[in-house]
Amino acid sequence: MDNSVKLRRSLPLVEKAFGASGVSVTSMGTGYRCSLRVGADDVAALSQALGVDLPQTPKTSARSASRIAMWLGPDEWLIYDSKNNPIDDLKNVDVACAGVDVSHRNTAIEVSGSLAAGVINAGCPQDLSLEVFPVGACSRTILGKVEIVLCRTKADIFHVECWRSFSPYVFEFLSTAAKDQSALAAR
């Protein structure tokens, strides 16, 4: 008799979306996340195993297919993949690293459209001008009262990572800001 229990991950923002003229706020659904710590000597080996070059420059990210590697510190990255768990790629790597699956802890929201930067700046002090925060830039920062990881994936698209327990607050904050920004732009 099999007494094992298979846990299923529930999503905190199931198919939530908000749209207004010039901006949309959308939950990104499922995805896999890995909090990765590794020393500089082993970055190349882990980049090869993960199939994406781990960025070594502050506030940058790298992308490969469905995977994004976001630089968070000199030896720390957040790896997001919409299809495959990065932890699986680390299982047979012979390097000293710490990879922790944080897929149950985090969730993601996409903010897109011509007003996206203004919507995020309603609660985030990060300068989101394209000159300062170009495509591929990422940062651990705050939105309102919550710590987030923010990544600009295209000129008018942002990937917002937050802890799932804060996701209703973050989604409502961004939706309210989107409504306000859209109304201001219409004046």
User: Rounded to an integer, what distance in angstroms lies between the CA atom of residue 115 and that of residue 167?
Assistant: 21
**Within a domain: residue 2?**
no
Q: Do 92 and 24 sit in the same domain of this protein?
A: no
Position 162: which residue type?
C
Same domain for 128 and 45?
Answer: no
CA distances from 41 to 44, 63, 68, 78 (A): 7, 21, 21, 18
Instruction: Read off the pLDDT band of 91 (50, 70, 90).
Output: confident
Show the domain range for 26. 12-30+105-187
Task: Report residue 119: phi and psi, to 5°.
Answer: -65, -50
User: Does the pTM exceed 0.75?
Assistant: yes
Task: Identify which has the larger pLDDT, 28 or 60.
Answer: 60
Which pLDDT belongs to residue 2? 61
Which CATH number belongs to the domain containing residue 83 in this structure?
3.30.70.1520
- Report the range of poorest mean pLDDT among 2-11, 45-54, 139-148: 2-11
pLDDT of the residue at 4: 63
**What letter represents residue 45's amino acid?**
A
Min mean pLDDT across 7-21, 69-83, 147-161 is at 7-21
Q: What percent of the chain is helix, strand and coil (3-state, nearest 5)?
A: 25, 35, 40
- Count of CB atoms situated within 10 Å of the CB of 91: 9
**Same domain, residue pair 57 and 141:** no
Final residue of a domain: which of 102, 120, 154? 102
Q: Is 17 strand, coil or helix?
A: strand
As for how many domains the chain has, the answer is 2
Q: Residue 5: what pLDDT?
A: 65
| pLDDT (0 to 100) of residue 9 | 60
User: 15-59 pLDDT, tens per residue?
Assistant: 788 888 999 999 987 889 999 999 999 999 999 999 999 999 999
If asked whether residues 95 and 130 sit together in one domain, one would say: no
Which pLDDT value is given to residue 1?
A: 56
Do the bridges between strand 23-27 and strand 76-81 make them parallel or antiparallel, or are there none, so unpaired?
unpaired
Domain boundary among 63, 78, 102: 102
Q: 97-141, pLDDT tens digit by residue?
A: 999 999 889 999 999 999 999 999 999 999 999 999 999 999 999
pLDDT, position 6: 59
Residue 7 has pLDDT above 60, yes or no: no
Give yes or no: residues 120 and 68 share one domain. no
